[in-house]
Structure 1
Amino acid sequence: MILYELMDYDTLRVIWWALLGALLVGFAVTDGFDLGTGALLTAVGRTDLERRVVINTVGPVWEGNQVWLILGGGAIFAAWPQLYAVSFSGFYFAMFAILLALIIRPVAFKFRSKHESRRWRSAWDWSLVIGGIIPAVVFGVAMGNVLQGVPFRLAPDMRIFYDGAFLDLLNPFALLCGLVSLAMMLMHGAAWLVLKTDDDVAVRARRYGLVAAVAVLVLYGLAGVALWTGIEGYRVTSSIVTDGPSNPLFKTAVSQTGAWFGNYLAHPWTMAAPVSGLVGAMLAVLGLCLRWERVTLVASSASIAGIVLSVGASMFPFILPSSIQPSASLTVWDASSSHLTLFIMLIGTCIFLPLIVAYTTWVYRVLWGKVTASDIRDGRGHAY
C-alpha cells in the first residue's frame, strides 16, 4: 500500500507509455526477423532443401517471438482502453489482414513438409512469403496513419465515432511508411539468415540484405523529410494536467506542419532514436559487406529499435491524434486506465516480464548455431 501511494499517477502513465514502446520494440526485433525470413523464403531458397534450411532457422523460435505481440495488445487493452477502442475499430480491416496472415504462417510451418508434392510445398512456401510481407507492410501503414492523425471524434459523453474509410488508410505517406517497415523486416530477416545459414542461402541473403538496408536509409530519410515539410503533426495548446482524469476533452490541441520535430528541438537527447535508426542501417550495410555476421544482426536490431522509438519520441505526449477533432486526441495523460489498474499491472509486469526475457534468452542460447543442409538431409532435431 505504501508503494502504491508513492507511485504517482503521472509517473505510472509515463512508465506504461515507455513499457508499451519496449513491447513494440521487442516484437519488431524478435518477430521481425521471422517476418523477414518468411518474406525472403523463395528468393534465397531455390531448392526444396534450401527452403527447408531457411524455415528451420526460425521454426523453433517463431512462436515464442509472437509473445511480444500478445503482450503489446494486452498492454494496449488494459493500460490504454481508449487507444484500444479507437485503433482496433478504425483499423479493423487492416488488423483482420494481419491476423489472417499470422494464422496462415503457423499452418504453413506445420503442414508444408507433410506431403511430397512440389505444388503442395510451393503453395505453403508462398503462404509464408505472403504471411511475412502483409504484416510488415500493414504495421507500417498503420504507423503512417497514426502520425498523420486518425479521423475519429469524441462526443461529450465520451462515445467514440470513427469517420474514416479503409481506402483512406492507403494514402501516399502511409504507404511510404509501409515500405519502410517492409524494408526493415527484409534487412533484419537477411541479417538473421546470414548468421544462421551458410553456402548459397547465406550468399543470397547477404545480397538481398544489402538492398534492403540501403532501402531503409533512403525510405526512412524520405519519411523524415515528409514529416518536416508536408505532414501535419499535433501539439497541445492548453495546460496539461498530468495526474487528472482520463478525459481527452479537457484539453485543446491543434495540428501544425513540422510539429512532430518539437520534442527533438526541446529535448535533443531524443535524437538518439532516429540516429540509431540511420546508423544501425549503415552498420548493417557495413557488416554485410565485411561478413560480420553478429555485428550485422545487432546493427539491424538497433536500426529497427531506433525507427520504432522515433515514432514515440516524435509524438509524445500524443499516442493517437485525431485529424478531425485535434482536441479529442489521446495522450499519455488523458487516455489511460485508473491509477490502481496501472499499478497492479506494473507489479505483474515486474514479476513476469523478466521470466519471459530469461526464458527467451535461454531458448536462443540452446538453439544457437547454424542450420546446415546436412542437418536437414540427415533429419537431425526433428526438422521441419
Structure 2
Amino acid sequence: MKQFIFFVSILLLLPVFQVSSDGLVIGPEDLRIEQSLEGGYNLWIRNKPGLESVLLTESTEDPERKAATYALRAPEYNPHNGDEKRMLDGEFLDPEKKLFSLIDSTPESYEAFGSAFRIFIPYIVIYGYEWTRSGEMLVVDGTYLSVRAFGAKYADYGSGFRDNPFILRVAQKPLEGPPEGNYMDDTVKTYTEIAEEGGGRVIYCRGEDDLLNALDEVLDEVDSGSLDLVLALDTTASMENDIPWLKRELVPLLKEQTEGYGHFRFGMVLYRDYHEDYLTRVRPFQKTLDGIQGVINRTTVFGGRDIPEAVYEALYEGVHAFPWMATDRKLLLIGDAPPHERPRGRVTEDMVYEDAEAIGVEITTIILPQ
C-alpha cells in the first residue's frame, strides 16, 4: 500500500502568554500528522495534564496586541471537528453561523499517544471575517501554523493559553507491502468525473503489478489499427514503485498489442505540481519501440510537497501539445492523487473537457491506491 508520510518541524519561538501548566507546551514529540483519505490531514496532539482544548490559528498572538490573529476554519462541515463548541468572550459561538473552527476539546484514543486531540485540516482553510482581514490559505509544505493550547475547554481565553508555532514539512514516500485497495476519496471523485466528461472510463488498479492488466484493457478497446496514445503520468515521489515497472513492462506490452497496426504513436506528459522543478514536461510522439523505451527510461520521480497535483494542467498539455492524427486518440491519466480543488493557474477542468471533445481525444483514468 502506498501512503504519504508527513513530517512536522517546530519553530522555536517564545509564546506570547505563558501559564504555569507545562501541559500547554507542545513540542515535536507531541505532534503527529497523517494523510486522510477524506482529503486533507489529521493533526494529532498529545493529551497532557492541564491541556483541555486546542485551536489551530494562522499565527501567534501579537505581543503588543495591535494586530488581530485569527483561528483557522474549514470551508465546510467535517465530522471530526464540525460539531465542536468554541467559546469567545465568555459565550459560545452560534452553531447556526457554521464557522467550523479547527478546534478540539474532546480527546480520543490514538495508538501513538494513548489519548490525543485530533484536528482535521483540509487542503484549503479560511481565516478572518468579511468585516476584517480575511482570506483563504492553501495548506502545503512550508505552511506556517500555530497550535494554540488552552487550559480550559472550548478554547476559552479566560484560562490562559500558549501558542506553539510550527512549519508543516511534507514528504511523499510509498510504504512497502501489498496494495490494499485504499483509494483517496477526492481521487475517486475527480478521476471518475474526468473519465465521464472525457468520454472514457475509470479503471481501479491494485498497484504497480496490476498496471499491466489496466493498460491491456485500454489497448484491447482499439480495433481500428490506428492509435495515438498519450500517457499523463504523475512523477512525484509517491510513484516510485510504479515507474520502474513501466520501464520494464510497458514496451513489451505495446509491442504485443500494436503489432500489425497501420499507425501507432506514443507520447507522454509528465506532471508534478506548482513550485516543483517542473509543472508539466512533454515527451513528443515516438513511432518506434526503441524511442518509446528511451523516453520511459529518462523518467524519474521526485518531490510532492502536498497531496493534490497538477492533474488538469497535465491533461491540458496532453490535449494541446500533440499533433493528433490517428483514428483512435487516447489520453490516459495514471496517478494516485487528485487535482487541486481550485485552479492555481489558468487551466480549468472545463477547458480540458471542451478542447478534448473538439478534437476527438478520449480520456481514460487509472487510479492507483494510496
Instruction: Please tell me the TM-score bracket, short chain as reference.
Output: under 0.3
Instruction: Give the strand-richer structure, 1 or 2.
Output: 2
What is the TM-score normalised by the length of structure 1? 0.22
Larger Rg over CA atoms: 2
Instruction: Give the helix-richer structure, 1 or 2.
Output: 1
What is the TM-score normalised by the length of structure 2? 0.23
